[in-house]
Structure 1
Amino acid sequence: MAVLPSLATVADLATRLNRTFTPQQEAQVQALLDDASSTVRAFTRQDLTRATTTDTFTMRRADPVLHQCAGIVTLPQRPVVDIDTVTIDGSTSSDWWQDGQDLLLRSWSWGQPPAVHRAPQVTVTYTHGWDPIPREITAIVLQAVNRVLVNPSQVRSETVGGESVTYLIPTTGEALGVLLSRTEEKVLKKYRGPGAASLQVRSR
């Protein structure tokens, strides 16, 4: 599996902080950007970066009246930009259409026993994700990295000049690395996807 790029760059952080990093600092910042990007991707269950993926899914039966098709596959990565090819049980099909995240297959024989007990496997090559990455996602990654830079010892609170500052690190003292705040998680919720779990056939 290809390594996904970070959701923000060293140059983005340098611009935001109005500072220049040494080569050693750049390496540290890049590692933190990678960590923060992984944290955001784990929370959203999305790659986010524009990419083309080939994956295989289990077709689920559709309501012929509601959907007017034989089967449905829900593509997990958002947004779906384009669907290139669709193959059902090894046979290429063009008898489908897209409705948001759903791939609707107009017709397909579910077979006779024992094949009827096996749901068709649908292999889809599709393009998904954002290009460019939404600015609010980039901002969250930069904020998360900056918190680590200004608080490398991961102190929860300190008093400077009579002013108390509280950080995101739990009172247990456990070092958790790059974290997301509750506000950032709230912003990211709209980007969350269903993940890549297998779709089960519904009984009729």
Structure 2
Amino acid sequence: MATDTPLADPAELATWLRVPADDPLLLSTLRSASRRFRGAVRHEVNLVEDDVITLDGNGRESLLLPVWPTVEVTAVLLDNEALVEGTDYSWSEAGILRRLGCQVWPNRLRCIKVTYSHGWAEIPTDISDAVIEQARAAFRSEPGVKSKAVGGQSVTFETGVTSQWSEAVQRHQVQTGSDA
């Protein structure tokens, strides 16, 4: 992903961990949890302006833009011809791009080019909470290790994520398919 900006406030994580907000390990852990979240949802999360994507047509009236919320659609090209918003297409914050005037999108690959802005200027609470939760867990543990015993040489590895993390990832991940 293009940015390394944390998806949560370091000061909030610092309160949980009782360390200074500029602690290098705290900041590294928060950046790592943020990168992990971005990788899981397969997009930047923060506001991205004028992103240009090429989409496949689906033979239907509506298709989905891959990342929401959609903030603005500035251009739609169909076979390199500009369409007019309000006449040829409309769009919603949910990322639905709809043909107007009883038209459908052609059922062809790579025939639609869209320039749009998407993401959040202010990160939603469910994302920042999930990132903080993961950063808190990672801050005080060795990567992949949940517990260890010295005498009997027992090691247990940490696996999985919390339900809060899973729900936030599912809610914010890239939309797949061209069906709306």
Report the TM-score, using the length of structure 2 for normalisation.
0.73
Residue in 1 aligned with 2:173?
192
Residue in 1 aligned with 2:152?
none
Shift of 1:168: 6.9
Residue in 2 aligned with 1:127?
117
Residues 1:32 and 2:29 are matched in the alignment: yes
CA distance in 2, matches of 1:98, 1:155: 46
Code of the aligned partner of 1:80? T
Code of the aligned partner of 2:8? A
Deviations for 1:19-60, whole angstroms, at most 9, x for unmatched residues? 3156xx32x333322221122223333432111211111122
2:39 counterpart (34, 39, 42): 42
Secondary structure of residue in 1 paired with 2:5: coil
Structure 2 vs 1, CA of residues 108 and 183 (structure 1 numbering), >3 Å: closer, same or farther?
A: closer
Shift of 1:129: 1.3
CA distance in 1, matches of 2:109, 2:130: 41
Secondary structure of residue in 2 paired with 1:130: coil
CA distance in 2, matches of 1:133, 1:21: 19
Code of the aligned partner of 1:36? A
Structure 2 vs 1, CA of residues 156 and 50 (structure 1 numbering), >3 Å: closer, same or farther?
A: same
Secondary structure of residue in 1 paired with 2:3: coil
CA distance in 2, matches of 1:194, 1:30: 30
CA RMSD in angstroms, aligned pairs only: 3.1
Residue in 2 aligned with 1:162?
none
Q: Is the 8 A contact 1:40 1:141 kept in 2?
A: yes
Structure 1 or 2, whichever has the larger Rg, is 1
Q: Is the 8 A contact 1:168 1:181 kept in 2?
A: no
Structure 2 residue runs without a partner (length 5+):
150-155
Deviations for 1:105-152, whole angstroms, at most 9, x for unmatched residues? 234796xxxxxx855611111111122111121121112111122223
Structure 2 vs 1, CA of residues 42 and 36 (structure 1 numbering), >3 Å: closer, same or farther?
A: same
Aligned positions of 1:161-172 closer than 5 A: 169-170=158-159
Structure 1 residue runs without a partner (length 5+):
111-116, 160-166, 171-178
Report the TM-score, using the length of structure 1 for normalisation.
0.66
Structure 2 vs 1, CA of residues 61 and 13 (structure 1 numbering), >3 Å: closer, same or farther?
A: same
Residue in 1 aligned with 2:63?
73
What is the count of residue pairs matched by the alignment? Answer: 166
Percent of aligned positions that are identical: 22
